Amino acid sequence: MEKDFKKSLILILGFAGFIVMADNWVVSPILPAIAKDINVDIARAGLLISSYMIPFGIFQILFGPLADRYGKKNIITFSIVMFTIATGLCALGSSLTNLAIFRALTGVFAASVMPISLALIGDVFPIEERQSAIGSFMGISFLGQGMSMAIGGAIAYFINWRQVFVVYAILSVIPALLILKNYKNMPSIKNPDSQFLKPYLMLLSNFKSLITYFVVLLEGMFIVGGFSYIGSFIAKEYNYNNLLIGLIMTAFGVMSLIGGRISGNVAKKIGIRKILVIGLLSAALGELLIYNLGYNLIILIVSIGLMGLGFIFTHSTLLTRATEFAKKERGAAMSLVAFCFMGGGGVGTAIGSKIVQSMGLNSIFLFYGVMLIITTIIAYFTIKEI
């Protein structure tokens, strides 16, 4: 396959991932404005977050086997078009009920983009090129997550919350059109014999794949779980508005992007186990620095950047490993990674709230930093080279 097309594919899928990951987090900073406009309290408006996250998690598991059976490019093309429509509908929401329905639809179709994009990358790129490709894709995507609070906060601050969804819908038209334009050039691998449960049972019954998914789960719990409270920490420590908080948190996305560009070459030079150790320990160091020295703005930004670098080194390595588990059912393999990662993030965030309530906000960074060191030990002794 042509080198230029491979680069284009990473940019197209990366931009789709950027929009989806930005959309994933965008409601949090604009929730007070939405609640006020539709005349509900913040507690009830919180339904808009769960109405997106629940289908986002569940449908990742469903879309993997569908992509294996009917073709990855078919499913992702359909999903990104429907995601664009659902995002636009959110701007028209006039009540909590219909806005929650529109957010749920957005979550359903957003669920397919990350795992199926990764499965497509696995089909297109040979193993020696795959980690660099995955790292670049994940870096672009998580730059969207890192910038989401700043983007959403700025649009809502200067215009209104409805225009946030209008802008995201317009932006998502771009990858939708590019995917349609390049549709014929994308590989069309189908496995009509693919079943729903069988590939998942196979993946979870093999120690090599099971331990990988377990480390992904822990990574999600302790990196995403910690990241979820950085905004609250900045607000408490510095009393900044959402726009400034979002700008500071882009350090995570920027370092994810930079780390994604170099992760493949680093992995080739030092191997899977060592890059996992570097990644997990970098994230752990970032969290421990926030706990000890987060009151210093420069150190705080560096710490958030270390978390982003650690995340991308760890996650791109585990994803590359997972692309080799079930080559004929790669969609299911990548969907299970996404499910474990997002599920781990959700569990980590939930446990984190209990830690914050009982021990204080700073304590979560100490606890999760230590847990990442334990995760490093587990990964080093259980994960072998591909």
Question: Is the separation of the CB atoms in 48 and 100 below 8 Å?
Answer: yes
Phi and psi (nearest 5°) for 2? -60, 140
Position 201 in a domain = yes
**At 55, which CATH number?**
1.20.1250.20
**Which three-class secondary structure state does DSSP give residue 208?**
helix
Question: Is the separation of the CB atoms in 242 and 157 below 8 Å?
Answer: yes
**Which three-class secondary structure state does DSSP give residue 324?**
coil
State the Cα–Cα distance between residues 261 and 133, nearest whole angstrom.
8
- What does the pLDDT read at residue 146? 67
Position 216 in a domain = yes
**Long-range contact list for 348-356, CB < 8 A, 24+ apart?**
348/220, 348/221, 348/222, 348/224, 348/225, 348/226, 348/228, 349/224, 349/225, 349/228, 349/229, 351/221, 351/225, 352/225, 352/226, 352/228, 352/229, 356/229
Tokens coding 39? 């005349």
Question: Is the separation of the CB atoms in 159 and 32 below 8 Å?
Answer: no
Question: Is the separation of the CB atoms in 364 and 238 below 8 Å?
Answer: no
Position 355 in a domain = yes
Residue range(s) defining the domain that contains residue 51: 3-182+194-382
Position 189 in a domain = no
Total tally of structural domains belonging to the chain: 1
Question: DSSP letters along 295-310, please?
Answer: TSHHHHHHHHHHHHHH
State the Cα–Cα distance between residues 331 and 191, nearest whole angstrom.
10
- What does the pLDDT read at residue 35? 82
State the Cα–Cα distance between residues 85 and 333, nearest whole angstrom.
28
- What does the pLDDT read at residue 365? 96
Position 218 in a domain = yes
Q: What is the pLDDT of residues 316-326, one digit of tens each?
A: 899 888 888 87
- What does the pLDDT read at residue 242? 66
Position 188 in a domain = no
Q: What is the DSSP letter of 196?
A: S
The residues, any chain, with a CB within 8 Å of residue 370's CB and separated by 6 or more, are: 284, 288
Question: Is the separation of the CB atoms in 76 and 20 below 8 Å?
Answer: no
Nearest to 141 by CA among 251, 22, 224: 22
Residue with tokens 């950085």: 230
State the Cα–Cα distance between residues 348 and 368, nearest whole angstrom.
9
CB-count exposure of residue 43 (10 Å: 0-12, 13-18, 19+): exposed
pTM summary value: 0.80
State the Cα–Cα distance between residues 10 and 241, nearest whole angstrom.
34
- What does the pLDDT read at residue 42? 63
Position 187 in a domain = no
What stretches of 138-199 adopt beta strand conformation (E)?
A: none
Question: Is the separation of the CB atoms in 29 and 246 below 8 Å?
Answer: yes
Ordered per-residue pLDDT tens for the chain, 386 residues: 567 778 888 999 999 999 988 887 777 667 777 888 888 876 677 677 778 877 887 888 888 888 888 888 888 999 999 999 999 999 998 888 899 899 999 999 998 888 888 888 888 888 888 888 888 888 888 788 767 767 777 777 788 888 889 999 999 999 989 888 888 888 777 777 666 778 888 888 888 889 999 999 999 999 988 887 887 788 889 988 767 877 888 888 889 888 988 888 898 899 888 999 999 999 999 999 999 999 999 999 999 999 999 999 999 899 888 888 876 778 788 888 888 887 888 788 778 878 888 898 899 999 999 999 999 999 999 988 65
- What does the pLDDT read at residue 288? 98
- What does the pLDDT read at residue 52? 83
Position 314 in a domain = yes
